[in-house]
Amino acid sequence: MLKTLMTSAAIMVCAAAATAQTVGFSQIGSESGWRAAETTLTRQQAEERGIDLKFSDAQQRQENQIAAIRSFVAQGVDAILLAPVVATGWDSVLEEAQEAEIPVVLLDRQVDAPDDLYLTAVGSDLVHEGEVAGQWLVEKVGDRECRIVELQGTTGSSPAIDRATGFRNAIEGHDNLEIVRSQTGDFTRTGGKEVMESFLQAESGNEICALYAHNDDMALGAIQAINEAGLNPGEDILIVSIDAVPDIFKAMAEGDANATVELTPNMAGPAFDALEAYWEDGTMPEKFIQTESTLYTQDDDPMAEYEARKDLGY
Partner 1 sequence: MTVNPRLYPLLATIGIFMLAYLVCWMQFPYMLSTRVVGNLLTDNAYLGIVAVGMTLVILSGGIDLSVGSVIAFSGVFIAVLLRDTGLHPLAAFAILLAVTTAFGAAMGGVIHLLAMPAFIVTLAGMFLARGAAYMLTIESVPIVHPFYETLKNAYWLMPGKGRLTLIAIVMLLAVVAGALIAHRTRFGASVFAIGGGEQTARLMGVRVGATTVGIYAFSGFMAGLSGIVFSIYTSSGYPLATVGTELTAIAAVVIGGTLLTGGAGYVLGTLFGVLTMGLIQTYIVFDGSLSSWWTKIVIGVLLLLFILLQRGLLRVSSLRA
Residues that bind partner 1 (CB under 8 A): 24, 52-64, 66-68, 70-76, 86-89, 91-92, 112, 156
Which of 215, 245, 207 has its CA nearest to residue 133? 215
CB 49, CB 272: distance < 8 Å? yes
- Shortest distance in whole angstroms from residue 182 CB to partner 1: 20
72 or 306: whose CB is closer to partner 1? 72
Angle between helices 33-48 and 268-281 (to 10 degrees): 30
Least distance to partner 1, CB of residue 94, Å: 11
What is the closest distance, in whole angstroms, from the C-beta atom of residue 23 to partner 1 in the complex? 9
Q: How far apart are CA 58 and CA 93, in angstroms?
A: 15
**CB of 55 or CB of 279, closer to partner 1:** 55
Residue 24 or 221: the one with the smaller Cβ distance to partner 1 is: 24
Dihedral angle sign, alpha carbons of residues 100, 105, 111, 112: positive
User: Angle at which helices 91-99 and 62-75 pack, to 10 degrees?
Assistant: 10
Judged by beta carbon, residue 61 or residue 287, the one nearer partner 1 is 61
Three-state secondary-structure class, residue 33: helix
Q: Residues in the chain, how many?
A: 314
Q: How far is the CB of 249 from partner 1 (least distance, A)?
A: 29
The alpha carbon of 290 is separated from its chain's Cα centroid by a whole number of angstroms, namely 11
3-state secondary structure (DSSP) of residue 101: coil
- Give least dist CB 178 to partner 1, A: 30
User: Residue 68 or 146: which CB sits closer to partner 1?
Assistant: 68
Q: Residue 63 or 145: which CB sits closer to partner 1? A: 63
Q: State the nearest-atom distance from the C-beta of 154 to partner 1, in Å.
A: 11
Left, alpha or beta for 280 (phi > 0: left; psi -120 to 50: alpha)? alpha
